[in-house]
Amino acid sequence: MRLTVKLLNIAFFCAALPLFSSTGPDGELTKRTRYLMDTYCSVLAPVKGDMKTAAALDLALDRVEELDKKFSAFRPGGQVYEFNKNGTPITDPETLELVKRCLDMNVKSGGAFDITVTPLVRLWGFYGELPKKPKIPGKEEIAAAMKQIGPGSIELKDGRLIKLRASAEIDLGAGAKAYAVGEAMKSLKASGVKSAMVDLGGDLYAIGLYNGKAWKAGIKKPRGEGALGIIGMTDLSMSTSGDYERFYEIDGKRYCHIIDPVKGVPASELISVAIITPDATMANLLSTSVFVLGRDKGLKLIEKYPGTEAIIIRANGEITLTEGLKKLFSLKEKGGKK
């Protein structure tokens, strides 16, 4: 069972952002922010003058910083970078665990999620600065890049990730951010923090209550006024995949940075997917997979994961909410205020 809201002819796209009122028994929120994983990472908590809680926010950001170095495909020194560039096997257990989850999702998503998608992302110009004069790659170029990809080009065995094809590369971009959000939250909990929100470029995780209520995340309409709706989050994470942050247009058609590895072209049925579940990494693996699969196949995939909810917005403006989300989500009227 799911709820479909038809809002045709409205150019929506959505992103998550934390919302909160600063007055109440818990007092003001303390916020620490650093630029990490190519975006801003903020940790927020009601500190109430407790120095230990304040220090816990910095510790959580240290953890994200550590993971940023570890998972980056672009920063020299990390194992992912060395694997891609020089073929050095990856042995770091934490990186291997994330790779394993990504490989599992490749199978579950029927190939829609693929960390070896790198040659296609590169061909379409989505690494580094976006092309000033983008052009659609030729059929032969796409076919050649598609031959380079696929999980068969790498092997995870005996505590090592190795290349089976010299040209293989991995891109953990669709899992790393949310994994880091989950780890930041673990770090906060280990420090004894009971109520907090982590926001890594719109991938969110909230624990506990703030002023006696669930934390609130707005699904915003960046092209319109106000929020599309608000989600109450307690011990839940939310990850979004959309076509609105990294994209270019050719002849009025939008091409975004999430590529369908089966077709070799940017996914285009959806403009935004938000997945809500307590498992932060799973939220991101699913949001990217669903973005590639489209609404109907995406919903089938989500159904395999009990306790996972979604908001799916199609390019034609249709919004689909999973049934369980109705309890957490309040839809705002068109142009509604926060």
CA-CA distance, 318 to 8, in Å (whole number)? 6
What single DSSP character describes residue 235? S
Binding mask 220-249 for ligand ADP (x = CB under 6 A): ---------------------xx--x----
Smallest separation, CB 245 to ligand ADP (Å): 5
Q: Is 274 in the site for ligand ADP (CB under 6 A)?
A: no
Residue closer to ligand ADP, measured from CB, 115 or 181: 115
Smallest separation, CB 71 to ligand ADP (Å): 11
CA-CA distance, 267 to 290, in Å (whole number)? 10
| Whether 157 contacts 166, CB under 8 Å | no
Q: Which residue has the tokens 């891609």?
A: 84
Residue closer to ligand ADP, measured from CB, 115 or 321: 115
CA-CA distance, 73 to 75, in Å (whole number)? 6
| Whether 74 contacts 206, CB under 8 Å | no
Binding mask 193-222 for ligand ADP (x = CB under 6 A): ------------------------------
Smallest separation, CB 199 to ligand ADP (Å): 13
Residue closer to ligand ADP, measured from CB, 46 or 151: 151
CA-CA distance, 322 to 287, in Å (whole number)? 14
Residue closer to ligand ADP, measured from CB, 60 or 273: 273
Smallest separation, CB 115 to ligand ADP (Å): 6
Smallest separation, CB 80 to ligand ADP (Å): 12
Please list every residue from 254 through 273 that binds ligand ADP, using CB under 6 A. 257-259, 261
Smallest separation, CB 95 to ligand ADP (Å): 16
Please list every residue from 113 through 152 that binds ligand ADP, using CB under 6 A. 113-115, 117, 121
Buried b (16+ CB within 10 A) or exposed e, 190-205: ebebebbbbbbbbbbb
- Closest CB to ligand ADP belongs to which residue? 173
Q: How many CB atoms are closer than 10 A to CB 153?
A: 18
CB proximity list for 160: less than 8 A, separation 6 or greater: 89, 90, 91, 96
What single DSSP character describes residue 10? -
Residue closer to ligand ADP, measured from CB, 106 or 322: 106
Smallest separation, CB 224 to ligand ADP (Å): 19
Smallest separation, CB 48 to ligand ADP (Å): 33
The site that binds ligand ADP (CB under 6 A) totals a number of residues, namely 20
Out of 169, 171, 199, 309, the residue judged to bind ligand ADP by CB under 6 A: 171
| Whether 332 contacts 152, CB under 8 Å | no
Which one, of 24, 4, 13, 19, lies nearest residue 230 by Cα?
A: 19
Q: Could you tell me where the beta strands, DSSP code E, fall in the chain?
A: 2-6, 15-19, 29-36, 39-46, 154-157, 160-163, 196-200, 203-207, 215-220, 227-233, 236-242, 247-250, 253-256, 259-260, 265-266, 270-277, 309-314, 318-322, 329-331
- The interface region with ligand ADP, picked from 23-31, 110-118, 216-224, 307-315 by CB under 6 A, is 110-118
Residue closer to ligand ADP, measured from CB, 204 or 259: 259
Out of 288, 308, 320, 322, the residue judged to bind ligand ADP by CB under 6 A: 288
Chain residues in the site for ligand ADP (CB under 6 A) = 113-115, 117, 121, 171, 173-174, 241-242, 245, 257-259, 261, 284, 287-288, 291-292
